[in-house]
Amino acid sequence: MKLKSKSSLFQNIITEVDQQLSLIPEHDSDGTQLEDSMSFDTYRDSLKELTVTTANGKKIQPIHTSLATDLVHDELATRREENGTRS
């Protein structure tokens, strides 16, 4: 994806969020869909706790709980749509 923004901080956030989302499994170790699993909070929190460093060295956590929750749900729903599986 080509971004219009030239902000390296924004690009770092996008890269880190993309990496975290790509690691989320659709099912937990018991085969339960992640949305219905006790593991959901772990993956949501991994996004919420994502830390990036600004150009002046300040560490920030740009993702809040509701955005992290929505991102995980959207990632899983989009994968299932693309694979033609149950949402």
Look up the domain containing 49 and give its range.
34-87
pTM: 0.87
The answer to whether residue 65 sits within a structural domain is: yes
- Is the Cβ–Cβ distance between 71 and 63 less than 8 Å? yes
Residue 82's contacts (CB-CB under 8 Å, 6 or more residues apart) are none
Q: What does each C-alpha distance from 8 to 13, 42, 49, 75 come to in angstroms?
A: 9, 28, 20, 24
CB burial readout 1-26, b (16+ within 10 A) else e: eeeeeeeeeeeebeebbeebbeebee
Place of tokens 């219009």: 4
Task: Provide the pLDDT for residue 86.
Answer: 60
Q: How many residues does the chain have?
A: 87
Model confidence pLDDT, tens digit, residues 34-64? 999 989 999 999 999 999 999 999 999 999 9
Total structural domains in the chain?
1
Model confidence pLDDT, tens digit, residues 11-35? 999 999 999 999 999 999 999 999 9
The answer to whether residue 77 sits within a structural domain is: yes
